[in-house]
């Protein structure tokens, strides 16, 4: 085999080819390999190099995508799992939901609150300056008007120890759970109104239902 037959091979391919040929079972064959053998071996080396490149690129892309997903989740779209039944029937224990971080909330919106190193899911009832009143049957009055609450199955005054009617302080939100009889929320002085800094985000949609 002449020297020109190796003309298209680069240094790495030539070294790999010679090394491979030296370690074949045909140890007694001292002649240079045929052109067909060179071409076949070269294709094999190129295929291996291409596979390694594709594998490396795929792994790198997956790592970047995973890191981006974690970053987005932490900064903008937290994902949490519902714990407890205070928001039934809207949400159940074990549901996985997506939140969106926000500083703007509306009456009736579902939200996630950070309280004593716990995450609580509640519903916004009153904004800063709103007047809240609740009668013995559990009917909620917002600024003198009965609040329409189709999400509540059974109304109750619940664990309420605050003086009613109650005015929501500036910079805070009045929140309640949908299970009015058992939910511990802003009606109870142990929780009270929630500062905006305690708001983790508002409910966007349910990713997975535990039911």
Distance CA 132, CA 124 (A): 12
Residue 134 contacts residue 146 (beta carbons within 8 Å): no
Q: Is the dihedral of CA 94, 97, 101, 107 positive or negative?
A: negative
122 carries an active-site annotation: yes
Check if 154 is active-site. Answer: no
Pairing, β 199-208 against β 110-115: antiparallel
Structure tokens of 203? 């409910």
The total number of residues written for the chain in this structure: 211
Ordered alpha helix ranges (H), the chain: 11-22, 35-75
* Options 27, 86, 114, 155, the catalytic residue: 86
Q: How far does CA 69 lie from the centroid of its chain?
A: 7
Tokens of 51: 């596979």
Task: State the catalytic residue, choosing from 122, 172, 183, 186.
Answer: 122
Query: Which residues are known catalytic residues?
Result: 86, 122
């Amino acid at each position: 085999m002449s020297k020109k037959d190796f003309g298209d091979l680069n240094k790495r391919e030539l070294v790999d080819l010679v090394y491979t040929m030296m370690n074949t079972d045909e140890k007694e064959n001292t002649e240079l390999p045929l052109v067909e053998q060179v071409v076949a071996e070269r294709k094999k080396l190129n295929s291996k190099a291409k596979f390694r490149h594709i594998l490396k690129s795929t792994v790198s892309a997956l790592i970047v995508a995973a890191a981006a997903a974690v970053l987005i989740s932490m900064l903008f779209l937290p994902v949490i799992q519902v714990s407890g039944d205070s928001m039934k029937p809207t949400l159940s224990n074990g549901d996985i939901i997506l939140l969106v971080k926000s500083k703007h909330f509306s009456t009736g919106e579902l939200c996630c609150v950070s309280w004593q190193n716990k995450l609580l899911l509640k519903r916004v009832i009153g904004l800063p300056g709103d007047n809240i009143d609740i009668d013995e049957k559990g009917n909620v009055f917002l600024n003198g008007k009965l609040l329409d609450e189709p999400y509540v199955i059974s109304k109750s005054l619940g664990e309420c120890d605050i003086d009613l009617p109650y005015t929501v302080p500036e910079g805070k939100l009045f929140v309640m759970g949908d299970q009015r009889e058992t939910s511990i929320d802003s009606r109870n002085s142990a929780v009270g109104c929630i500062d905006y800094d305690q708001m983790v985000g508002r409910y966007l949609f349910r990713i997975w239902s535990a039911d």
